[in-house]
Amino acid sequence: MGRVAAIGEQTRVAGLALAGVTVLVAEEPEAVHRAWQGLPQDVALVIVTPAAADTLGPALLESARPLTAVMPA
């Protein structure tokens, strides 16, 4: 079974660490791209904030793995 990771603004993702999620804080678009490209191989699910999803755009749809979910706004 793979890990769960979250990418986005600290205020939106920090609490997920309490549930064992690997939190990748990314406040700026460049940081979002770096976090996405640097995801460990064993990550099976990525939770992204709406801002991170907007930044990644089609990259979310082009990738079959990992499974990606966007937080509600």
Give the 3-state secondary structure of residue 57. Answer: coil
Q: Which residue has the higher pLDDT, 1 or 3?
A: 3
Q: What does pTM read for this prediction?
A: 0.92
- Strands of the sheet containing 67-70, edge to edge, are 22-25, 3-8, 43-48, 67-70
For 25-70, how does the pLDDT look when each residue is reduced to its tens digit (9 = 90+)? 999 999 999 999 999 999 999 999 999 999 999 877 777 789 999 9
For 4-27, how does the pLDDT look when each residue is reduced to its tens digit (9 = 90+)? 999 999 999 999 999 999 999 999
User: 42: exposed, middle or buried (C-beta count within 10 Å: 0-12, 13-18, 19+)?
Assistant: exposed
